[in-house]
């Protein structure tokens, strides 16, 4: 009873901290919580062994939580840790008649349930991260990736540049051919640009309407201008775009960097005849 009380008290304390300060805690602390939960369940499983292991069913919740909140590799790591912990409980704890069947009974259920949850979460994450029309990343993904790349550039010292792109006279395309024509043009442009950017390096997103953006880690001002030129050359015949580029000055925020590139893009759009793109 003392062991159960200690474990229960620990769980209540951790849960209270998570409720009160959850939003202020780093995301990696969730891994600590799940690891602690696995340890507590293992203690309860040892205490509860009596021909079967009733507390071991709680491992299923560890697997479900990991599948719901963590990326596949992180979730798999927690499932492996929980499975190993339960195997150790069965091997070195008070003996039961059929330890192998007991292990598969718990983790067979946990594995199936976890795989279903992970699959559903993957579909939802993809839907939340991608633009359904063009297949490019959406604004939410762009904002998250920009912050990540700024932090990486801050650590490594590598340059980071962005390009803001707006198709010229896109409204005219919609007016003449209808919204279907506009959608087909956006899809065509996105496909062409995906073949132009660096695989695994540059990050292409559709921010909304006919506005796109590209994040180019490792590219300085010269590199992003070259990329902007390739993007302009890849456009379909008769279509032009206003492109504004900016290279991070290593002090400004993500919002300030975006504003510089956006201002450069509008300077390009205001120039006539069309002159390609402008940098800030």
Q: Would residue 210 show up in a list of annotated catalytic residues for this protein?
A: yes
- Whole-angstrom distance, CA of residue 83 vs CA of residue 97: 19
Measured CA to CA in angstroms, residue 106 lies from 60, 65, 129, 228 at distances of 7, 15, 34, 55
- Preceding peptide of 67 cis, ω within 30°: no
- Whole-angstrom distance, CA of residue 3 vs CA of residue 42: 12
> Could you tell me how far CA 60 lies from the centroid of its own chain?
25
Cβ-based neighbour number of residue 151 at 10 Å: 11
User: Which residue carries 């003449």 as its tokens?
Assistant: 176
Contact 250, 154 (CB under 8 A): yes
- Whole-angstrom distance, CA of residue 139 vs CA of residue 211: 10
Strand partners, 203: 215
Catalytic residue selected from 143, 210, 220, 262: 210
Contact 217, 156 (CB under 8 A): no
Indicate which residues carry an active-site annotation.
210
């Amino acid at each position: 009873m003392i062991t159960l009380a200690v474990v229960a008290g620990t769980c209540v304390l951790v849960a209270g901290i998570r409720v009160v300060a959850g939003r202020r805690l780093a995301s990696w602390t969730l891994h600590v919580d799940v690891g602690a939960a696995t340890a507590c369940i293992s203690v309860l499983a040892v205490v509860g062994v009596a021909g079967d292991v009733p507390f071991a069913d709680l491992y299923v919740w560890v697997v479900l939580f990991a599948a719901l909140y963590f990326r596949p590799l992180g979730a798999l790591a927690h499932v492996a840790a929980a499975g190993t912990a339960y195997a150790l409980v069965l091997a070195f704890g008070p003996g039961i008649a059929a330890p192998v069947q007991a292990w598969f009974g718990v983790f067979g259920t946990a594995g199936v349930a976890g795989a279903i949850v992970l699959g559903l979460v993957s579909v939802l994450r993809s839907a939340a991260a991608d633009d359904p029309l063009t297949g490019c990343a959406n604004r939410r993904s762009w904002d998250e990736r920009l912050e990540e790349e700024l932090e990486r550039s801050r650590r490594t010292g590598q340059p980071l540049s962005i390009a803001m792109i707006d198709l010229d006279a896109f409204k005219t395309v919609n007016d003449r051919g209808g919204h279907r024509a506009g959608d087909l043009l956006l899809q065509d442009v996105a496909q062409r640009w995906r073949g132009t950017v660096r695989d695994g390096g540059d990050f292409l997103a559709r921010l909304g309407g006919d506005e796109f953006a590209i994040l180019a880690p490792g590219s300085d001002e010269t590199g992003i201008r070259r990329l902007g030129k390739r993007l302009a050359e890849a456009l379909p015949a008769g279509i032009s775009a206003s492109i504004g580029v900016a290279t991070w000055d290593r002090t400004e925020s993500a919002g300030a960097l975006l504003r510089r590139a956006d201002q450069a893009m509008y300077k390009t759009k205001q120039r006539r005849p069309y002159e390609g793109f402008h940098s800030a």
